[in-house]
Amino acid sequence: MFQRFTLRYYSYLGEAFKVYLLRGTKVLKKLRRENKLWKPDEVDAMLLSKILRDMFRTLTLQEMEEKVKLQPLINEYEPLSRRTKILKH
């Protein structure tokens, strides 16, 4: 639902705002570990503000639409891959 909301309003607003994607999540995980913090949104927002802008890239509307289309497939794949991993061991 949030993804549809985001895309709908993103298309209305056009270039009024930008959406950024963190290139590698290892930086965020490292900052959490160093500061001994958990994963609430408030903590993530604080840590993301400390990361250099070079570590982010701007998402286009087309990329966001692709992510929304792929998300259901990813949601199906992740549980299956966990089951396969469990069965192998």
CB 28 within 8 A of CB 22: yes
Amino acid at 62: Q
Number of domain units in the chain? 1
Query: What are the pLDDT digits (tens) for 32-66?
Result: 999 998 888 888 889 989 998 889 998 887 888 88
Pairwise CA distance, residues 15 & 59, whole Å = 11
CB 68 within 8 A of CB 4: yes
Determine the pLDDT at residue 9. 64
- For residue 69, the enclosing domain spans 2-88
Compute the mean pLDDT over every residue in the chain, rounded to the nearest whole number.
81
Which residue has tokens 């950024």?
A: 20
CB 4 within 8 A of CB 69: no
